[in-house]
Amino acid sequence: MEKNAGSEDVTVNLPDFHDPAYYVNRELSWMMFNQRVLEEALSPDAHPLLERVKFISIFSSNLDEFFMIRVAGLEDQYEAGIQDRSVDGLTPQEQIEKIREGVIEQFRQRNSCFYNEMCPELNNHGIEFFEYRNLKTSQKEILQRYFRNEIFPVLTPLAVDTGHPFPFVSNLSLNLAVELEDLETQALKFARVKVPRILPRILRLDTIDGLDFGDDRIRLLWLEDLIQNNLEQLFPQMRIVQCHPFRVIRDADMEIEEDEAGDLLETIEQGIRSRRYGKVVRVDITPTMPESMRKILIKNLEVHSRNVYEMSGALGLSDLMEMMKIEKPELKDEPFAPDNPLEEKVGGDIFSAVRQGDHLLYHPYDSFQPVVDLINQAASDPQVLSIKQTLYRVGSNSPVVQALMNAVEGGKQVAVLVELKARFDEENNIGWARALEDVGAHVVYGLIGLKTHAKLTLIVRREHDKLKRYLHLGTGNYNPVTAKIYTDYSYLTTNELLANDVSELFNALTGYSKHTTYRKLIVSPVNTRQKIIEMIDREIEWHKKEGNGRIIMKMNALVDNKTIRALYRASCEGVAVDLIIRGICCLIPGIHGVSENIRVISVIGRFLEHSRAYYFRNGGMDELYLGSADIMPRNLDHRVEALFPIMDKELIEVVKAELGLILNDNVKSWEMTSDGSYIKVTNDKPKVNSQSIFLNQASKKKSICKFKVNGL
C-alpha cells in the first residue's frame, strides 16, 4: 500500500502485476511490429512507389529472420515437450499456432498489395513484370541462348532416387522441385534444381543483348521463371511433367559454448558453417504444388504440415530490394545529404571542437562523418597515443576500421573489441578482426557469455604535457551506411568523469578487471535494470511530494518483466509515462487501475527509429540517459551495454524537444490500445510527421547539432 500522487493520506491498492492479462506475448508483439512495417507498403500515400516495394522486401526479410531465430526456438521447446507458459500465459504450442494464423494473413495482405496494386501501378510508370509464357517466340529464342550462356553453367540438377538421396537444401534457398518422365522407360523421376543466389533474382530484360522491345520501358523477369521454362536443357531425353518452386527457412541461431572454445574466432566460423544445416522451420510453396510433391518435401525435409506455408506468386519477396537499383528517382524518396555541423563550425578540427564543448549529433539528420573524421584525425595525429573502440556491426568496406588500421601502422596503440557474436554479421566481423590483427592491433572478443553491444570510443591525446581523453558515446553502430537510415545519437565529449568510467569499462573488457562501480555510466550486466527501476521508483516518490511526475523512454523493445512492473507501479501512483517503442512491447497501456497513465507509441517511417533515450523529470532536476541498451533481459543480463548521462541542461532540453515532437507525431505514429493492439494515430490537429520535420529543420538550418560549452 502506497500513497497516491497529490494525496497525503490516500493509499493505492496495487493489483497483482503478475497477472498474464497485463502482458503481450513477446513473439506476437514482434509480429504486430512487422505488421506496422507492412502497413508502410499497404498504404498508397505512405511513400513513393518503389519505397513501398522496399517495405515489402523489409517485411519479408524481417519475417525470415523471425522464423530463423524465434520460431525455431519455439519449435525446439514444442518438440521437447516443454509446456511452460510465457508471462502472458501461452504455451510454446499455442504461440506457434497463433504465429501461423497471423503469418498466413500477413502473407495474404502482402501478396494482394504487391500483385493487385503495386504491379499495375509499376506498369503505369514503365516498370513491368513479365512472365516467360507471354513473350514472343523470337524473344524466347534470345532468352534461351542467354540461359545457355549465362545461367546453365552454374546450375546443378540433383536427382532423387535409390542411388541419389534427397539433397541438402540450404537455408533461404529457392528451389525447383521437378517431376520428369524418362522417354525410354516412361518411369517418373524426381529432381531438385537450386536457383543460384550468385545471380540477380530479378532479370532486366531490357538490358539483355538482342532483346529490343522498341521502347524505354523496364521489363523484369523472375530468374526461376526463366530456369523453369528451360529445364529441358538440363534434362535431355526427359519430359518435364511438372515443376514447382519451394523455399526453405532453417534454424539459424548459433549456440556457442565459449568455455569449451579454445579459439572463439574459429568456433564462430564453424558455427556459421553449421548454421546452414539447422533444422527446417518453414517451407514456402505455391498453391499449384500437388499433394504428392508436398509429401515428398515434408518427408525429406523432416517437417510437419504446420511448417508449410502456401502462397501465390513468387516466393522470397525479400529479393524485391533489387528493384531499388532501378533509376526512377520520381518513385523514390527525395535524396537527403546530411550536414556536417562540425565542418561548418570549426573547419572539421574535431579535437578543437570537442575541447571547446560537448557535441550531440542526431543521425541521420546530422552526418555521421564527424565520427569517422574523429577516428581518421586520431589515426594521423602525432599527439594521439592510443585509441580504444568497440565494434558490433560496422558493415563492409568500413572507413572506421580502415582508420584504425592506419592508426596502428602510424605507431598508435590500438585496442579493439570486435563482437564476433553479432548475429548475421559474424563473417564481416571475423574478416575485420583478422585484418586488424594482421596490422598489429590488440583485438579482443569480449567477456565470456556476454555480447558486447556498447558503442564506445576512447582516444588518449597528449596536450601541453598532459594527457587528455576524447570520447565518442553512441546509441548506434560504427557503420556510416546504416547511419544514413537509422536514427541514433552520437555524443562527443572530454568529460573526465565519463572518461574515467569508459577507461574502467575498457579495462574490464580487455583485461581481468572486475570493476563494477561506475560514477556516471550505467552498465549492463552490472546495474542497468537496477538503476532504471531505481529512477522509476524515485519518480514515484517525487510525484507523491510534488506531482508532475514524468517519464519518457524511447527504445526498440520493452520486454523485461521487472521493469514493466515498476512502470505499472508508477502509473498506479499517477506518474505520466510516455513510451516510444519501435518494436516489441510486452506492457499494455490503458488498463483500468493498472496502466491508465501510460501511453505507448511506435513510429514507423522512412528512417528506422533506433536511438534509445531514458528521461526522468526528477522533481524538476531533469535526468536523461542515452545509450545502446533496450529494456530486454538479453540487454540487461547477457550483454555489455552502456547508458551515458547528458548533464548539460540545454542539451537535455534539445532531446526533450525531439522526444516531444515524436510523441506528437500523427502521421507515422501507431498507438497501442488497452487490448494490446495498435491503431494509427489520427486526429484533427495539424499534421506532424516527426521525421519529415527533422529533415526540414536540417535542410533549412544546415544543422540541428546543438553545441554547448562543457560545464561538467
- Got the DSSP string for 21-60? GGB--HHHHHHHHHHHHHHHHH-TTTS-HHHHHHHHHHHH
Per the CB < 8 A criterion, the answer to whether 227 and 195 are in contact is: yes
Average pLDDT, stretch 297-320?
96
- At residue 262, does pLDDT exceed 50? no
- CA-CA distance, 376 to 23, in Å (whole number)? 47
User: Residue ranges per domain, the chain?
Assistant: 126-331, 341-491, 522-709
Tell me what pLDDT residue 274 has: 52
- At residue 71, does pLDDT exceed 60? yes
pLDDT, the chain, mean: 90
Q: Where are the extended beta strands (E) located within 411-480? A: 413-418, 442-444, 451-452, 456-463, 466-474
Average pLDDT, stretch 638-662?
95
Tell me what pLDDT residue 618 has: 97
- Residues 6 or more apart in contact with residue 429 via CB below 8 angstroms: 391, 393, 394, 418, 419, 420, 422
- Same fold for the pair 126-331 and 522-709: no
Tell me the CATH architecture of domain 126-331.
Answer: 2-Layer Sandwich (3.30)
β-bridge mates for residue 458, sequence order: 388, 471
pTM of the predicted protein model: 0.92
pLDDT in tens, 139-191: 999 999 999 999 999 999 998 887 788 899 999 999 999 999 988 888 899 99
- Sheet of 218-222, strand order: 127-129, 218-222, 202-204
- Alpha-carbon torsion (308, 313, 316, 318), positive or negative: negative
Cell of 13: 491498492
Region of poorest pLDDT, from 88-92, 101-105, 421-425, 432-436:
421-425
543 by DSSP, 3-state: which?
helix
Q: Calculate Rg over the CA atoms of the chain.
A: 28
CA 80 to chain centre: 30
- At residue 246, does pLDDT exceed 70? yes
Average pLDDT, stretch 301-306?
94
Tell me what pLDDT residue 288 has: 95
Q: Is 453 a catalytic residue?
A: yes
User: What stretch of H or E contains 672?
Assistant: strand 669-672
pLDDT in tens, 531-548: 999 999 999 999 999 999
- At residue 2, does pLDDT exceed 60? no
Which one is the CATH code of 522-709: 1.10.3720.10, 3.90.180.10, 3.30.870.10, 3.30.2090.10?
A: 3.30.870.10
Tell me what pLDDT residue 329 has: 95
- Residues 6 or more apart in contact with residue 478 via CB below 8 angstroms: 371, 389, 391, 392, 394, 398, 400, 455, 457
pLDDT in tens, 493-537: 999 999 999 999 999 988 866 777 899 999 999 999 999 999 999
- At residue 459, does pLDDT exceed 50? yes
How far CA 489 is from CA of 311, 427, 475, 509, 609, in Å, comes to 41, 27, 6, 23, 11
pLDDT in tens, 671-685: 999 999 999 999 999
Q: How many CB atoms lie within 10 A of CB 503?
A: 17
From the candidates 453, 472, 543, 610, give the one annotated as an active-site residue. 453
Q: What is the CATH number of domain 341-491?
A: 3.30.870.10
